[in-house]
């Protein structure tokens, strides 16, 4: 359709008035572009995000398939699998009547504290770029646009709208732009999203270097560039830099009033408007919507068995086995009578991180139930006792129809809470709109009824009843974006009408959580009502985007008061006498999320104490960690902790994946896509991240992740590229296809990989290059860098040759002096192995470059 529409696009452009073209350059609403019906230009719909297509409702909404997080996919070291995931995601996008997926997230990990690390692939730009490329090609093979984001250097969430990142050109090129460059060359995304942050004094949405010179100029990108939501910082400058689409709509910076007045009589601005409009029309054609004025179909849930199978397989392939003393795993049901499951995540549905990557999943699975079901299917008779061990919640858990510590109904006994909208601040008078909400987590940025204008006074009221199952003390909590009050059994319990501090809740725009403790009686119903007004508290820190759209938001929680010390003692008693103990710990979408960063790499809420207590009374401990980034593991050397599994966030099949791995149905083949340091202070960004005074200085330069640990000889807890298997593999002698490299040529490393174990498995051959005598335009470079990898799946006893091809540009470094990439003369040692540990790498040979060559793109 796109090819056939090319001439029609030009004819349509010629028929559009300047004002009509301008109207296309900003969204119609939160998720859609503007249509021009008279010219048969339809609106197209976009959807978050990298782990699944959520649709047009930020919280709640239609159910969707929940895929493993980006970091879990990065751990697979398998771009072909990313392609397959992309294909299925495209079908999910179509089920939500959308045409554009706001993913993948291609940024590198600068610090293990990055709140959004879980969403992207790796600390290494090559791995990130290759995985993003596979994902993009998969999505777009089904006629859906992928949106590569966030361009560029969005490595922190702290003050993300305002932080200025000070980055020298060489690390900017080699680390932070590189994954985008690789994905641009190999994936050709139809859309790109700019980042919120500034780089060296310029906002990314109008950056003269990254957006205009590099993306549009050197890379020749002619696809659509959109802003992140509320991330358009100017009217004209962003347009001239190559930003086509302001999101969301309706237009703020690019209203007809603002832009038309500036464009009339200015040829340069008119030309930029024309080019941006062309790129928007081209995207409409590429996604198969050219002149398709069919009304948007309702969103539907798509629960496909083949998608569930893929999610389970992909999740298992990303699991990293970090330790397995005495071959503790997989568990042998025939020799086990009692296996305890302990930990805050043992019965939790930990599927992904927080923020725009979150969605309403088709279903969720958790480790305990999945394991119990699996052992019953084996007729093993294993007893599986359980203990929480400690509470991991960062905030009081929200009330929810499907799970939680209390039942909720509307005032008229319908499961859920009633949400009503009113004119005026006091939630009285005629009801404008009403709905039933299943949860107390109501981020209402996209649910305001169209009858209510952002400029008028309005309010929302949540009302219902709660009932708990046991007598005792309970915490009741409230956080809101704007002024609110919570009434409990008719009395004012929480007054949040004029708060003056903001916390991390609701994408960092909610107030700090206010908690009150009350005594509740089991099975008694208590009335609750919350009034939330579109009134911005006078003393509250401002948030222009949220104020501009008059966003409301309510987070209402109820949970019993608990004591971790008592829970740890209870868990130790449960673990005593068991044949093995599986301790499931980690983080959740409350600890890792868009809009804020972590402050420490230690496991929160006494989880280390829990593991120590279990290991003190049981000799066979398996620790499963669910997190989207590195955490400290001070218990990793404890001989009683026999096995450690890094499980990441596995999506809707997370529980089944862990049961599969524990019982050997799935042989873990993941490799760490990031370095796990012993402690936070060992990381090269310690003291630099997230910066201060709205500046973040990238003084570590090229020394990111394993590049730093290798060069500085700092021993990590677990190195980049590391991961064990239930099988064993041997590498033969690697062969190097050439001894010299010249412009336009490549070299290949071939190595035989043999599965010497008793079960099928997969190994990742990793190729690193170490500079021996090469000259350098940079004073200090990493001792070695990943230049290729290949995943090989093998049956027991099987041998396959793994070939890794390195092109003529892969050895290039950026010469800031010349403003070009250059392969410098000298000798390069080629190393092959199954992790980044130098002592375990085999020398394939030496490549000599006798004459340098250079290029721009």
Would you name the residues annotated as active-site residues? 228
**187: Cα separation from own chain's centroid:** 19
Strand bridging mode 784-794 / 761-771: antiparallel
User: Are the CB atoms for 673 and 74 separated by under 8 Å?
Assistant: yes
Residue 383 three-state SS: strand
Residue found by looking up tokens 């950026």 in the block: 814
Q: How far apart are CA 583 and CA 160, in angstroms?
A: 35
Judge if the upstream peptide bond of residue 165 is cis by omega within 30 degrees of 0.
no
Q: How far apart are CA 388 and CA 392, in angstroms?
A: 10
Q: How far apart are CA 392 and CA 405, in angstroms?
A: 15
Strand segments (E) across 383-506: 386-387, 406-409, 417-423, 433-437, 441-443, 458-468, 472-480, 484-488, 491-496
Residue 285 three-state SS: helix
**Geometric angle at alpha carbon 632, from 786 and 584, rounded to 5°:** 105
Q: How far apart are CA 362 and CA 351, in angstroms?
A: 12
| DSSP label of 211 | I
Which among 119, 129, 43, 55 has a CA at the least distance from the CA of 789? 129
User: Are the CB atoms for 674 and 71 separated by under 8 Å?
Assistant: yes
| DSSP label of 21 | H
Tokens of 357: 């990557």
Which among 353, 297, 288, 250 has a CA at the least distance from the CA of 62? 297
Strand order in the sheet with 339-342: 320-324, 641-646, 621-626, 580-586, 339-342, 386-387
Total Cβ atoms within 10 A of residue 209 = 17
Q: How far apart are CA 731 and CA 734, in angstroms?
A: 8
Residue found by looking up tokens 């358009």 in the block: 232
| DSSP label of 481 | S
| DSSP label of 377 | H
Q: How far apart are CA 854 and CA 395, in angstroms?
A: 54
- Number of residues assigned to the chain: 857
User: Are the CB atoms for 482 and 532 separated by under 8 Å?
Assistant: yes
Strand bridging mode 198-199 / 202-203: antiparallel
User: Are the CB atoms for 585 and 611 separated by under 8 Å?
Assistant: yes
Q: For residue 96, what are the CA distances in angstroms to 61, 218, 297, 300?
A: 10, 36, 8, 6
Q: How far apart are CA 260 and CA 273, in angstroms?
A: 10
Q: How far apart are CA 575 and CA 613, in angstroms?
A: 10
Radius of gyration of the chain from Cα atoms?
27
């Amino acid at each position: 359709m796109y090819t056939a529409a090319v001439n029609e696009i030009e004819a349509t452009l010629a028929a559009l008035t300047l004002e009509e073209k301008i109207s296309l350059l900003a969204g119609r609403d939160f998720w859609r572009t503007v249509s021009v019906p008279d010219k048969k230009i339809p609106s197209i719909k976009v959807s978050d995000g990298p782990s699944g297509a959520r649709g047009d409702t930020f919280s709640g909404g239609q159910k969707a398939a929940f895929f493993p997080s980006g970091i879990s996919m990065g751990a697979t070291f398998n771009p072909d699998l990313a392609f397959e995931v992309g294909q299925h995601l495209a079908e999910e996008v179509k089920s939500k009547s959308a045409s554009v997926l706001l993913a993948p997230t291609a940024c590198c990990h600068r610090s293990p504290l990055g709140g959004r690390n879980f969403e992207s692939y790796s600390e290494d730009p090559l791995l990130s770029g290759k995985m993003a490329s596979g994902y993009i090609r998969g999505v777009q093979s089904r006629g859906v646009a992928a949106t590569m984001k966030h361009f560029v250097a969005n490595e922190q969430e702290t003050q993300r709208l305002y932080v200025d990142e000070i980055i020298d050109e060489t690390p900017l090129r080699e680390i932070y732009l590189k994954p985008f460059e690789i994905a641009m060359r190999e994936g050709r995304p139809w859309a790109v999203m700019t980042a919120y942050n500034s780089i060296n004094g310029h906002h990314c949405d109008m950056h003269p270097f990254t957006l205009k010179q590099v993306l549009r100029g050197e890379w020749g990108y002619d696809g659509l560039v959109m802003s992140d939501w509320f991330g358009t910082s100017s009217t004209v400058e962003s347009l001239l830099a190559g930003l086509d689409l302001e999101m969301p709509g309706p237009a703020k910076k690019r209203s007809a009033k603002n832009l038309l007045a500036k464009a009339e009589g200015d040829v340069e601005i008119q030309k930029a408007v024309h080019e941006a409009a062309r790129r928007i029309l081209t995207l409409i054609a590429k996604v198969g919507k050219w002149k398709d004025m069919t009304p948007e179909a309702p969103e539907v849930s798509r629960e496909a068995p083949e998608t569930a199978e893929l999610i389970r397989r992909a999740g298992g392939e990303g699991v990293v086995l970090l330790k397995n003393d005495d071959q503790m795993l997989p568990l042998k049901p025939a020799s086990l009578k009692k296996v305890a499951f302990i930990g805050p995540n043992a019965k939790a549905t930990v599927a992904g991180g927080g923020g725009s990557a979150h969605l309403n999943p088709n279903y969720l699975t958790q480790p305990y139930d999945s394991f119990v079901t699996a052992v019953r299917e084996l007729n093993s008779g294993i007893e599986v006792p359980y203990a929480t061990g400690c509470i991991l919640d960062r905030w009081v858990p929200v009330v929810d129809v499907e799970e939680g510590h209390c039942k909720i109904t509307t005032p008229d006994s319908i499961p859920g809470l009633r949400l009503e909208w009113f004119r005026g601040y006091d939630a009285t008078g005629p009801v404008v709109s009403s709905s039933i909400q299943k949860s107390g987590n109501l981020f209402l940025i996209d649910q305001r009824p169209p009858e209510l204008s952002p400029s008028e006074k309005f309010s929302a009221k949540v009302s219902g009843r709660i009932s708990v199952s046991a007598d005792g003390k309970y915490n009741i909590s409230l956080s809101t974006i704007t002024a609110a009050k919570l009434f409990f059994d008719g009395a004012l319990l929480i007054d949040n009408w004029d708060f003056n501090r903001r916390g991390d809740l609701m994408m960092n725009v909610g107030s700090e959580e206010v908690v009150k403790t009350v005594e509740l009686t089991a099975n008694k119903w208590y009335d609750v009502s919350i009034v939330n007004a579109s009134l911005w508290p006078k003393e509250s820190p401002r948030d222009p985007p949220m104020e501009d759209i008059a966003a409301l938001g309510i987070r209402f929680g109820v949970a019993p008061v608990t004591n971790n010390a008592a829970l740890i003692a209870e868990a130790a008693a449960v673990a005593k006498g068991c044949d093995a103990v599986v301790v499931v710990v980690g983080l959740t979408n409350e600890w890792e999320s868009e809009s804020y960063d972590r402050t420490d790499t230690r496991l929160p809420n006494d989880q280390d104490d829990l593991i120590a207590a279990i290991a003190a009374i049981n000799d066979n401990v398996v620790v499963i960690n669910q997190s989207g980034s590195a955490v400290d593991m001070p218990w990793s050397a404890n001989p009683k902790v026999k096995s450690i599994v890094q499980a990441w966030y596995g999506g809707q099949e997370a529980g089944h994946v862990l049961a599969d791995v524990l019982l050997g149905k799935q042989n873990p083949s993941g490799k760490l896509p990031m370095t796990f340091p012993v402690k936070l202070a060992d990381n090269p960004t310690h003291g630099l991240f997230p910066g201060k005074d709205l500046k973040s200085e990238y003084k570590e330069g090229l020394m990111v992740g394993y590049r730093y640990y290798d060069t500085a000889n700092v021993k990590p807890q677990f190195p980049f590229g590391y991961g064990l298997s239930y099988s064993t593999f041997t590498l033969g002698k690697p062969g190097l296809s050439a001894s010299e490299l010249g412009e336009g040529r490549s070299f290949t490393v071939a190595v035989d990989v043999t599965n010497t174990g008793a079960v099928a498995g997969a190994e990742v051959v990793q190729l690193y290059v170490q500079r021996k005598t090469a000259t350098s335009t940079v004073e200090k470079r990493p001792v070695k860098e990943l230049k290729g990898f290949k995943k090989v799946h093998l049956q027991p006893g099987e041998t396959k040759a793994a070939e890794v091809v390195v092109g003529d540009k892969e050895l290039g470094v950026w010469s800031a002096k010349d403003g070009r990439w250059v392969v410098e003369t000298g000798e390069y040692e080629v190393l092959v192995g199954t992790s980044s540990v130098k002592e375990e790498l085999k020398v394939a040979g030496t490549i000599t470059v006798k004459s340098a060559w250079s290029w721009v793109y």
